[in-house]
Amino acid sequence: MAMARRYSNRLVSSIIQFTRFYSSGPFDPPPFLPPRRVVVTGLGMVTPLGCGVEVTWKRLIEGECGIRAVTIEDLKMNGFDRETQLHTFDQLTSKVAGIVPCGANPGEFNEELWLNSKDHKSTARFISYALCAADEALRDANYMPTTQDEKERTGVSIGAGTGSISDILDASKMICEKKLRRLSPFFIPRILINMASGHVSMKYGFQGPNHAAVTACATGAHSIGDAARMIQFGDVDVMVAGGTEASIDALSIAGFCRSRALTTKYNAVPEEASRPFDCARDGFVIGEGSGILVLEELEHAKKRGAKVYAEVRGYGMSGDAYHITQPHADGRGAVLAMTRALKQSGLNPNQVDYVNAHATSTPLGDAVEAKAIQSLFSDHAASGALAFSSTKGAIGHLLGAAGAVEALFSILAIHHGIAPLTLNLSKPDPVFSGNFMPLSASKKMTIKAALSNSFGFGGTNSSLLFASID
């Protein structure tokens, strides 16, 4: 009876909000301000800097790099003969990547526990990364619901950009060799993007929304933003949200090499390969990992005494409607996404202290985003009061996981009062001048609001704005 009454009250509240919003006229509707506030109460990470939030953050702010040279073993071509592996490796023009360190030591991803155990035979690597990061986030939030009502009021929103390309490569080889009977019955469940959310929901019994965004390199950010809105609109009280990716394989790297998106000049010095905003940048470094947040309705978090890292204040989206891979030269898509996040938050541009830029280390993309930041933040950026950086110098570009991991970095910047540096920034792009300059060293400062940008192929853009709860 109590549960039915709560559902009825939420439904009536939603109808009233809907009526007020649309009865004001179709041409100039008032701003919609959902009454339910969303906060971050748990964090989990698997990155090239390490497995876990603490080790990743420590190495990031100290200026360490998780990018290394790719080996033949990294290409995941176990079913191919050595000659084919060597031939494929030789043809790759980019041989550096942000690879998650694996092993049984602290700070390493334990494959025997999360990938090769009996419980994970049907899970691909990208799913295992999500399971590992989600486990850390839920433990950090001290949230392990046991009642049916709690589980029904908890959902999952975890996306990925590509899924398990290595499984597709292996299966294609079996087809070509007429060995169809050897195809695993888990092939389809291993490659489906939504199975990361599916496995997390099944492990913990979460019966709220089971959602998976797929928006290329904006996936992680969209997954978090969508989850926040589900809480705002009363669908659930808690969401486990983020992104995951495991694309360090022959076919994925070859595909990006053919599109000339990856760096090729730094194979001999991997740590210098990812150079956001630097004049010598020549493409991004492919990376892998996962970032997961526990998002929670504020009153729900207060009631159970949860610690709060930050509040989700704004979520802006836009489409370039211009080109399949390139942003428009004037950065209008990025400006729109950031503007919409700011409008929803109720904050002014000069109230944002830190921006975690999408900047991937590509010649065009970095310059366009820099111009967009300069355009939107204007005097605030020119004065040097706005701190901004791209953390991809340390971890590479994590594709579908990038937006989530960088959202975590933005939240940690608020929580610890430290803006992380941009690695390998030796000679800043000419677009910068005076005090308008990316951080080349981690900076201790008060950060009350931070913006995280994510942009993807197809012209999809997302901006998340986080703020301290006080």
To the query of whether residue 358 is one of the catalytic residues in this protein, the response is: yes
Catalytic residue, chosen from 120, 217, 257, 415, is 217
Catalytic residue, chosen from 222, 300, 380, 397, is 397
C-alpha to C-alpha distances, 145 to 18, 209, 305, nearest whole angstrom: 31, 16, 14
Q: Where are the alpha helices (DSSP H) in 31-81?
A: 53-61
Phi-psi region of 442 (alpha: psi -120 to 50; beta: other; left: phi over 0): beta
Cα diameter, the chain: 69
The Cβ of residue 324 has, within 10 Å, a number of other Cβ atoms equal to 9
To the query of whether residue 176 is one of the catalytic residues in this protein, the response is: no
Closest CA to 309 of 461, 190, 414: 414
Contact residues for 432 (Cβ-Cβ < 8 A; gap 6+): 277, 370, 438
Catalytic residue, chosen from 120, 211, 222, 358, is 358
How far is the C-alpha of 29 from the C-alpha of 17, rounded, in Å? 12
How far is the C-alpha of 280 from the C-alpha of 278, rounded, in Å? 5
In order, the DSSP letters of 144-186 are ---SHHHHHTEEEEEEESS--HHHHHHHHHHHHTT-GGGS-TT
Contact residues for 263 (Cβ-Cβ < 8 A; gap 6+): 94, 96, 273, 274, 281, 282, 283, 284, 285, 361
To the query of whether residue 217 is one of the catalytic residues in this protein, the response is: yes
How far is the C-alpha of 222 from the C-alpha of 320, rounded, in Å? 16
Active site residues: 217, 358, 397
